[in-house]
């Protein structure tokens, strides 16, 4: 009987040693938000109304220097970001100074970036929040591909 208990004990220890090890570098949301292009889908609940022959606004958070770079509808912008967990803040934002016929969306986009406090990711959708309110929504992708689709009339932006 003692041999059976001993064998059961040995088997249990052996099974315990066979558990799967956790990955050395688990992927986090931070890994997916960085070094990707994020195209603007909505701004304060409204679909962006880009005039004809203009490009879609986008941004990119670059991991190496904590730089944010992007295009706001008329001008290119740049600045810094601070990321900690789901907290996100933009600072030192600046842009080129081209004038375009309708600057309302660009002005609103830059103002919204200054109010971002946190973010969440659901699949390929990135949402920026101020408090509990969603203030901007983006979709990941390649800006050049999106521009080609827009010219061919194939892009449809749905309200989230």
- 116, part of any domain: yes
Taking a C-beta distance cutoff of 8 angstroms, is the pair 132, 126 a contact?
Answer: no
- 136, part of any domain: yes
Q: Where residue 58 sits, what CATH number does that domain have?
A: 2.40.128.270
SS (H, E, C) 102-144: CCHHHHHHHHHHCCCCEEEEECCEEEEEECCEEEEEEEECCHH
- 7, part of any domain: no
pLDDT of residue 104: 86
pLDDT of residue 18: 60
- 20, part of any domain: no
What is the spatial distance between Cα 53 and Cα 122, in angstroms, rounded to a whole number? 30
pLDDT of residue 136: 96
Enclosing domain of residue 106 = 28-152
- 8, part of any domain: no
**Alpha carbon of 104 to those of 74, 115, 139: distances in Å?**
10, 17, 22
Return all residues near 93 (Cβ < 8 A) that are at least 6 apart.
68, 77, 78, 79, 110, 113, 114
- 95, part of any domain: yes
> Across-strand partners of 69?
60, 78
Q: How many domains does the structure of the chain reveal?
A: 1
Mean pLDDT per block of 10 residues along the chain (160 residues) reads 66 59 42 88 82 76 95 94 96 92 88 96 95 96 60 42
H/E stretch holding 30 reads helix 29-33
- 99, part of any domain: yes
What is the spatial distance between Cα 79 and Cα 75, in angstroms, rounded to a whole number? 13
**Token pair recorded at residue 84:** 């900690």
pLDDT of residue 23: 38
What is the spatial distance between Cα 58 and Cα 71, in angstroms, rounded to a whole number? 5
């Amino acid at each position: 009987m003692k041999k059976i208990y001993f064998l059961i004990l040995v088997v249990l220890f052996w099974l315990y040693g066979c558990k799967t090890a956790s990955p050395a570098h688990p992927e986090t949301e931070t890994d997916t938000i960085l070094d990707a292009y994020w195209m603007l889908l909505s701004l304060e609940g409204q679909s962006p109304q880009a005039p004809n022959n203009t490009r879609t606004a986008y941004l990119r958070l670059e991991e190496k220097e904590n730089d944010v770079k992007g295009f706001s509808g008329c001008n290119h912008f740049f600045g810094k970001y601070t990321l900690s967990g789901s907290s996100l803040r933009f600072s030192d934002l600046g842009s080129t100074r081209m004038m375009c016929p309708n600057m309302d969306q660009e002005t609103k986009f830059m103002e919204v970036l200054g109010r971002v406090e946190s973010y969440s990711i659901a699949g390929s959708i990135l949402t920026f929040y101020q408090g509990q309110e969603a203030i901007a929504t983006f979709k990941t992708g390649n800006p050049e591909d999106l521009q080609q689709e827009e010219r061919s009339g194939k892009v449809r932006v749905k309200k989230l």
